[in-house]
Amino acid sequence: MIFRRKGKAEPVDEPVEEFVEVDSDADPDADELDAAEPDADQDADGDELPAELAEDEGDDDEEVDDEEPDDIEDVDWRADGPFDHDEVDLAADEVERLDLGALILTPWEGMGLQLHVNEATQQVVAALAFWEQSGLELALLAAPTSGGLADELREDLSEEAVEAGGSASTAVGPFGPELRRVLPAEGPSGEQLFQVSRTWFAEGPRWLLRGTLLGEAGLTEDEEGAAAPFVEFFRNVVVRRGSGPMVPGEVIAMTMPTAPQGWAVSGNPCGRALRWLGRSTEEVDSEQAIRAARESGAQTIADCADRQRATLRGRIAVLTLRPRSGTPWLEAELNDGSGTITLIWMGRREIPGLVAGRELEVTGRVSWVDGRRRMYNPYYELL
């Protein structure tokens, strides 16, 4: 977390003077009688209590003091962010941020950004921050002053998941009760897939920020692993709702960011995040796949020459069984973002775990046949 809310002055309690009324007729021997009362570690007969009993009495008091409320509604889930614009002082540091009007974001090294535009209104209605095989979609909604919109959205989204043949559950996450959904989806070849996601809700002054974790981060159940950078990113979001009246649940539109001078230089996370704006989903997916292949040490398909032995990494786009002269041939189209290559396993009808959409790494010799790259009986590793 980069910053906290602006501090508020705490009230100072005035010292209270206590007055003790002294009875002039008090028994002069009262102090002596008080001194004669049995000690806390003694019983009524004046005998000392066993040591273990005396210790137990003290332990009971300590246990009562250490008790904490179990009601999660009493927790301030926004104590460490996300923040309202009036709660922070952005001029107090030199952190470079992306200003989308309604949202102010703090990207990190390697993060990409896509903006979703409503074609009818030409307004930016959502922002997708992505990194490696994960993403976090942000949407800002108007909310009533009394709150409660998050509960309604969780219920509506849960019903939608069940009606679609999926499932939904609620668990306590880093920003309060979060929604975890599993939705059925269709793969590129018509196969049955499932999309797993986690949805966070943060309610502020007349606004609600919704963040939906997708990809590998959506499969996590805590703040670690693939979800870790997105948890920090979500905490550092600053909301600028505006003062105008809006209907609860209405999407608060964002604006396209502009790149100040100096953001185009290498090493600037804001400049790199802006590079992704305006690109199609296919272009983003391709560049991410190429980067993943290179980082793993594999060659790219586009750079492979005829008769070259290569190690390639990508995803299966199409899987087909083509019998040749009575012999089964299992063919798979591998795509790594730079191009495609046909993998052929002669004599195989199937490979356990090899399905369309599966990521794998293969090693073999590349051959050019009829203007297309092929690799016969490659060594493979499912990822």
3-state secondary structure 240-278: CCCCCCCCCCCECCECCCCCCCCCCCCCCHHHHHHCCCC
Strands 238-239 and 83-84: parallel
List, by residue range, all CATH 2.40.50.140 domains of the chain: 298-382
Side-chain half-sphere CA neighbours of 56 within 13 A: 5
Residue 190 has pLDDT above 60, yes or no: yes
- Tens of pLDDT, residues 297-333: 888 888 888 889 999 988 887 888 777 777 788 888 8
Q: Which of 45-49, 95-99, 187-191 has the lowest mean pLDDT?
A: 45-49
Q: How far is CA 118 from the centre of its chain?
A: 24
Q: What does the block give as tokens for 149?
A: 């919109």
Q: How far apart are CA 314 and CA 335, in angstroms?
A: 5
Judge contact between 49 and 41, C-beta under 8 A: yes
Q: How far is CA 279 from the centre of its chain?
A: 23
Q: Residues near 302 by Cβ (< 8 Å), separated by ≥ 6? A: 338, 339
Q: What does the block give as tokens for 279?
A: 């690109």
Mean pLDDT of 122-136: 88
List, by residue range, all CATH 3.40.1000 domains of the chain: 83-278
Q: What's the Cα-to-Cα distance from 264 to each of 52, 193, 223, 258, 272, rounded to whole Å? A: 71, 39, 32, 11, 8
Residue 153 is inside which H or E element, if any? helix 149-163
DSSP, res 317: E
The most confident of 286-295, 324-333, 338-347, by mean pLDDT = 338-347
Task: Specify the fold of 83-278.
Answer: Protein Transport Mog1p; Chain A (3.40.1000)
Q: How far is CA 57 from the centre of its chain?
A: 46
Residue 209 is inside which H or E element, if any? strand 207-215
- Among 309, 319, 313, 318, residue whose Cα is nearest residue 351: 319
- Tens of pLDDT, residues 241-270: 998 899 999 999 998 876 544 444 344 555
**CATH top-level class of 298-382:** mainly beta
Residue 51 is inside which H or E element, if any? helix 51-65
Per-residue pLDDT band at 281 (split at 50, 70, 90): low
Q: How far apart are CA 185 and CA 164, in angstroms?
A: 10
Q: For tokens 């959506």, what's the residue?
A: 218
Q: What does the block give as tokens for 35?
A: 């001194």
Q: What does the block give as tokens for 275?
A: 């590079």
Q: Residues near 316 by Cβ (< 8 Å), separated by ≥ 6? A: 332, 333, 334, 335, 354, 355, 356, 357, 358, 359, 360
Q: How far apart are CA 310 and CA 315, in angstroms?
A: 16
